[in-house]
């Protein structure tokens, strides 16, 4: 989503500098070429070696670096960047940017660049609320600098309030949206999808589940929002942040997931069943913890409701897309599921391939419909999600 975009990341001297390491990773995941300028105080919080290892480029910090081309590193960087992101931007750094100071490499580069500048504030809540900081923020906005955040919550100093730097994933997603084309193929569509695993209780402390991380479904939700859709995400238990602009509903079991889908399916144009829903659940859940006793134990299982089939059977159903995670005979099993559940389209992946599918950051899909198919080769899940949604949008418009 950020392929060929040149992102210059400026790191200010605050405790939130540790988040910059993750921000670099998030930006590179989305295809960006990331170079970094660190303020002198930033190097007290995180080492240039760490940042260099993550970005793949030497870190710039010295305004008068004799190794820079013509000793004008600030001009080189200023001309190179498609966008400058300052994260974290401390109160001091924001004040110096507002004043147009050129006292170190980071502020000088901001002054010299014609690229858009995005500032992500990070400071103590009282410093953020201070009139001087608020005036500085208002002034840089008037000068055309974009401000993202801050978020509110617990702070390193022990206080609670506004001033936290936005999470790296949120910043990366906003940057993708920032560069998104004006024409969005899913603009005006309502899309609902399921993601992650389900948990089927055995007793109060145990459950049946699977290895789904939810990454593919959450990538679909993020990409669909970027492509203009109004997205409702129904998720099983996962450790993932909600993509920006997405309505999220958390569930545990397959029955809860079905109930949530049916409660929200009305007026939806697209349904994507990406969740790895347990096929069976325990017939009778024990009210208290089952103690270890006999050498062998049998559990009676009953079939869970079929969410995909239930949606597909609706009278005024949305365009319905299923997923099939297989370990062999991928096309045969996927096409069988496509026909059996009367789906419009199915995306199948071979989860036996190392590094793809469950718990991985990358995936590959074979997409099938009644009279055709298309292979989407291995790539990161956000890029893959965009490719799949582009295919879905095209199928909807020609159906």
Which residues carry out catalysis?
Answer: 157
Find out whether 320 and 313 touch, Cβ atoms under 8 Å: no
Beta bridge partners of 322: 273, 346
Regarding beta strands 270-273 and 319-326, do their DSSP bridges make them parallel or antiparallel, or are they unpaired? parallel
Residues contacting residue 159 through CB under 8 Å, at least 6 positions apart: 124, 125, 126
Supply the DSSP string of 127-142, one letter for each residue. HHHSHHHHHHHHHHHH
Q: Give the burial string for 20-51 (b: 16+ CB within 10 Å, else e).
A: bbebbebbbbbbbbbbbbbbebbbebbebeeb
Residues contacting residue 273 through CB under 8 Å, at least 6 positions apart: 193, 194, 307, 308, 311, 320, 321, 322, 323
d(CA 259, CA 249): 11
Collapse the DSSP code of 248 into the 3-class scheme (helix H, G, I; strand E, B; otherwise coil) and give the result. Answer: strand
d(CA 243, CA 230): 12
Candidates 198, 200, 234, 239; CA nearest to 217 is 234
Regarding beta strands 206-208 and 200-203, do their DSSP bridges make them parallel or antiparallel, or are they unpaired? antiparallel
Candidates 9, 7, 16; CA nearest to 106 is 9
């Amino acid at each position: 989503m950020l392929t060929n975009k040149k992102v210059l990341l400026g790191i200010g001297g605050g405790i939130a500098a540790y988040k910059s390491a993750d921000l670099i990773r998030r930006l590179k995941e989305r295809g960006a070429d990331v170079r970094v300028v660190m303020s002198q105080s930033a190097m007290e919080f995180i080492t240039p070696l760490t940042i260099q290892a993550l970005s793949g480029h030497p870190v710039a910090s010295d305004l008068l670096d004799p190794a820079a081309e013509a000793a004008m590193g600030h001009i080189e960087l200023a001309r190179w960047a498609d966008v400058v992101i300052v994260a974290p931007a401390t109160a001091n750094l924001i004040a110096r940017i507002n004043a147009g100071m050129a006292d170190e490499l980071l502020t000088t580069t901001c002054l010299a660049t014609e690229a858009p500048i995005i500032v992500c504030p990070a400071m103590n809540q009282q410093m953020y609320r201070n009139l001087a900081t608020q005036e500085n923020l208002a002034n840089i906005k008037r000068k055309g600098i974009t401000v993202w955040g801050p978020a509110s919550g617990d702070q390193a100093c022990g206080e609670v309030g506004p001033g936290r730097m936005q999470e790296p994933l949120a910043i990366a997603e906003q940057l993708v949206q920032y560069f998104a084309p004006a024409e969005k193929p899913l603009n005006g569509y309502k899309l609902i999808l399921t993601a992650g695993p389900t948990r089927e209780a055995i007793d109060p402390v145990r459950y049946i589940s699977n290895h789904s991380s939810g990454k593919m479904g959450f990538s679909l939700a993020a990409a669909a929002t970027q492509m203009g859709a109004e997205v409702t995400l129904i998720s099983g238990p996962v450790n993932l942040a909600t993509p920006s602009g997405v309505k999220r509903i958390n569930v545990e079991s397959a029955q809860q997931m079905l109930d949530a889908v049916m409660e929200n399916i009305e007026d939806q144009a697209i349904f994507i069943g990406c969740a790895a829903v347990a096929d069976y659940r325990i017939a009778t859940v024990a009210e208290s913890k089952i103690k270890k006793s006999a050498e062998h134990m049998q559990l009676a299982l009953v079939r869970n409701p079929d969410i995909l089939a239930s949606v597909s059977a609706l009278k005024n159903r949305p365009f319905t897309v299923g997923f099939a995670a297989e370990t062999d005979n991928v096309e045969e099993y996927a096409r069988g599921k496509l026909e059996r559940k009367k789906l419009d389209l199915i995306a199948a992946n071979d989860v036996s391939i190392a590094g793809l599918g469950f718990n991985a950051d990358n995936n590959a899909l074979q997409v099938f419909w009644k009279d055709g198919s298309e292979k989407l080769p291995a790539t990161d899940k956000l890029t893959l999600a965009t490719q799949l949604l582009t295919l879905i949008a095209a199928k909807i418009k020609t159906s």
